[in-house]
A and B are shown apart, each in its own frame.
Chain A
């Protein structure tokens, strides 16, 4: 080749083809899942074992730290009561999260398309973010009463920021050459948005959504702390007042479970909606010469 060293050869980008490895069988897949999960599961088990040891060997008084057995027994015995409050908190969380996503994505789109709006909104957003939510939550109770309102407002406030930030980053991360190409194709601004910018921003958005959904749980519980007659925040405050530590621990366990379940739900949604992104990260398919 007479190109006089003008080419930059990259070993992984070559001519010919795609080589697809065979799809893994059920056994292989199970082995893969075990391989990925045994470490965190083992760590969790170790934590439970430590908890159990602390209580079993009476290192701490039982009224301060209840045993895992007592906590689980209570979860079983009072399941109806706990389930009701779990549902209330989940409902508040989901509603707050949904509103945060809709408003956050809309705000991000407007901010990316207008520098004026971005300059105007950003300080306000930052201000709303840095205000300690726990400190303004009582104000919402004064304004909106003891109902579901203040909980949702706090959940929205706390979950909104990561949604906006990730969506703005996603929309700005679009390849500028892609936008130039779009211009030479005579594409309408709407088509450029729906076919190029929006899909390109989704991986960023989803990383923001994962943070936002766990924060929304916190928001709902904070809202319940300052004034509520139902929800897990209320359950924990009640248990605290009665020195009912098994109920307190049960509430905490369920609350964490809500966060984990919602986080996993967002991850599953990401895998279903963005298979191209997931497979890219997974590297299940490779290119060879």
Chain B
């Protein structure tokens, strides 16, 4: 598996390059009856190669924030920059994973992954090679020719992840990608996600409801508050990039981060 040139994952400091820069962003949705402010005064800076998790109560605009970065949505005010460029319209230098795998039912796992290549008109030889790499990396070997309805939820989400990584995007946006999975599968995919992030060196923005998932995977955890959504606090996790699951869970840093996040969210919201 090819590793992109990049700084050590999560190293931050002077002179670092910004992957995502969100400044004073507000999003208001106008409906006939009332105006809804989804986001207000949101600022966020994500370094190249960094893993940032965004947690917050339901409806706090976490998904809206990802869509802004992807250029699928325009902010009502403020600026969004991706890799130094203003985001104006859908960006192609990202990979996107949704909570539902959103696979094409008539395509096999392999051909679902290759959709990314077909749409981008990537050379087919290169695309096939890369698909094979990703299938091996995500443990999909043996399921290449299965149709989505023949795959379990975890397997479907692996296919969606491969599709999002096929073109080696510098930035990966994940919107509650493991939210619909059972606890064991989720844990397994968290471990794989940590490895994939280290191997690809891609910048990851992960929206999640799980405090543990956020603390295990991320360099920094952005805690958002509700109505209108805004950044309550950004917490440095301060753990090495390579993380053993059980060992990480037992570390004091992990407990410190999850406790802080839960305090910010309030006991009820954390179990949301």
Contacts and interface: CB of A to CB of B under 8 A. Distances in A.
B96 A181 contact: yes
B60 to A, nearest CB: 15
Interface stretch (A140-148, A157-165, A194-202, A209-217): A194-202
B105 A3 contact: no
B20 interface: no
A14 B153 contact: yes
Contacts of A177: 98, 100, 102
Contact of A3 (B94, B118, B186): B186
B64 to A, nearest CB: 13
A187 B167 CA distance: 13
Nearest to A283: B149
Contacts of A183: 72, 90
Interface stretch (A4-12, A86-94, A222-230, A255-263): A4-12
Given A9-B182, A15-B154, A289-B152, A4 B72 contact: no
Contact residues on A (Cβ < 8 Å of other chain), bracket: 35 or more
Contact of A5 (B116, B146, B271): B271
A56 to B, nearest CB: 52
A10 B180 contact: yes
B186 A7 contact: yes
A15 B184 contact: yes
Nearest to A275: B106
Contact of A175 (B102, B153, B179, B181): B102
Contact of A185 (B119, B178, B184, B211): B119
A276 B108 CA distance: 10
Interface in B80-112: 90-92, 94-96, 98, 100, 102, 104-106
A196 B213 CA distance: 32
Given A2-B212, A6-B271, A18 B180 contact: no
A184 B98 CA distance: 13
A17 interface: yes
A17 B153 CA distance: 10
Contacts of A10: 153, 180, 182
A7 B181 CA distance: 6
A3 B102 contact: no
Nearest to A11: B182
B210 A15 contact: no
Contacts of A192: 119
Contact of B210 (A7, A13, A175): A7
Contacts of A1: 183-184, 186-187, 212
A14 B185 contact: yes
Given A15-B154, A185-B92, A280-B105, A7 B179 contact: yes
A243 interface: no
Contacts of A280: 105, 147, 149
Contacts of B90: 180, 183-184, 186
A3 B181 CA distance: 12
B236 interface: no
A274 interface: yes
B263 interface: no
A277 interface: yes
B181 A13 contact: yes
Contacts of B124: none
A103 interface: no
Interface of B: 67, 70-72, 90-92, 94-96, 98, 100, 102, 104-106, 115-116, 118-120, 142-143, 146-147, 149-156, 178-188, 208-213, 249, 258, 270-272
Interface of A: 1-10, 12-18, 20, 175, 177-178, 180-187, 191-192, 195-196, 199-200, 274, 276-277, 279-280, 285, 287, 289
23 contacts: A1-B186, A3-B210, A4-B211, A4-B212, A6-B212, A6-B213, A7-B178, A7-B183, A7-B186, A7-B210, A13-B152, A13-B154, A14-B182, A14-B184, A15-B152, A15-B184, A16-B155, A177-B102, A180-B67, A180-B70, A182-B119, A184-B91, A196-B104
